[in-house]
Structure 1
């Protein structure tokens, strides 16, 4: 009986530790997104291969690379996609058949894209949108509409990636391009809201350190500590 109790406790502890850790797919998403945002195509080529070997489908990686353009621009996204085409062609020549994976589901919600995007953002943030608009949304209302309709409706609604995975993509891009710490802070908070744990985000920083750069990881660590401290003080 004692042996069984010890085994069960050990198994439960192992499962808990596993839940605290990012898996290989998630680590690959971080590397691919950050390297694409930086334009480091030589290293990206290797990480795209590793991502496929870690279990990411072709469509999941394509979705990561598409997502990049919303934060780092079309040029970085397109170069990433072109690099991925080369990787897939090389693997095909070697006789490797990669899993294509699911396409994005059809959106059947008949609400306006602005309303749908607003709802997605409220789900991510956990709080209702404030009215009247302030800051950039009041200063440039057009960009606020673009954010709701395109970023949070057109992109985040695509279910090839989960909200957790999209937030990992986003914080990796923001860390890779640098100089956008307020946005990184916001998306680290969103990452926690959608179920990523502090331990997982600390692991994210370690992945950034090895794949993207020590300076980028140092900045991400500082911002993450600020976010965690702020949430603990509430």
Structure 2
């Protein structure tokens, strides 16, 4: 937590906006869970208040309960490709609701928010999955998605290099393997 606060203060000094910081924290909920993110949300608010930034910040949500599924599906298609258009309906009936939640909650509620674009959200998601470990199938998918939307292989290697002191070598090497696998798959499909 102390390192997070120090890095957050530094990022504000280097031009990262309060909205961008809050959006990173909100994005974390979908990938790390509210139980792991809740204290960071409070720390974020504490640092912003300490810096004299009035809260709450301007809302960034654009999806509504009525259109979040449709907007989430479109976000998945924009990021991963047209094969995602019907993904929310896939899988065994008893667990299909999870794929729908992925579309309407993860992508509809989070990815459609203002404050960060898809490239930034995918880069952040790549960081969350790399740091978490044990999510290599999802990490490989998000590595490919990053490359699909313009965060190329070299960029992702730079991201891994920056994260290495925080996540360690094993997780960094796993992330590198996922990037290489995704790049190889993309090259094979060209």
Tell me the TM-score normalised to structure 1 length: 0.71
Q: Which residue number corresponds to residue 142 of structure 1?
A: 97
Contact 2:126–2:139 under 8 Å retained in 1: yes
Q: Which residue number corresponds to residue 60 of structure 2?
A: 104
Q: SS at 1:158's partner residue?
A: coil
- CA distance in 2 between counterparts of 1:168 and 1:231 reads 18
Q: Which residue number corresponds to residue 172 of structure 2?
A: 217
Q: Which residue number corresponds to residue 14 of structure 2?
A: 54
Matches within 5 A, 1:16-31: none
Q: Which residue number corresponds to residue 5 of structure 2?
A: 45
Q: Which residue number corresponds to residue 91 of structure 1?
A: 51
Structure 1 residue 173, shift from structure 2 partner: 0.8
Q: Which residue number corresponds to residue 195 of structure 1?
A: 150
Q: SS at 2:84's partner residue?
A: coil
Contact 2:129–2:135 under 8 Å retained in 1: yes
- CA distance in 1 between counterparts of 2:41 and 2:144 reads 29
Q: Which residue number corresponds to residue 179 of structure 1?
A: 134
Q: SS at 1:196's partner residue?
A: coil
Q: Which residue number corresponds to residue 21 of structure 1?
A: none
Q: Which residue number corresponds to residue 84 of structure 2?
A: 129
Question: What are structure 1's unaligned runs of at least 5 residues?
Answer: 1-40
Using CA pairs below 8 Å that are at least 6 residues apart, which structure has the higher relative contact order?
1
Structure 1 residue 161, shift from structure 2 partner: 0.8
Based on CA coordinates, which of the two structures has the bigger radius of gyration? 1
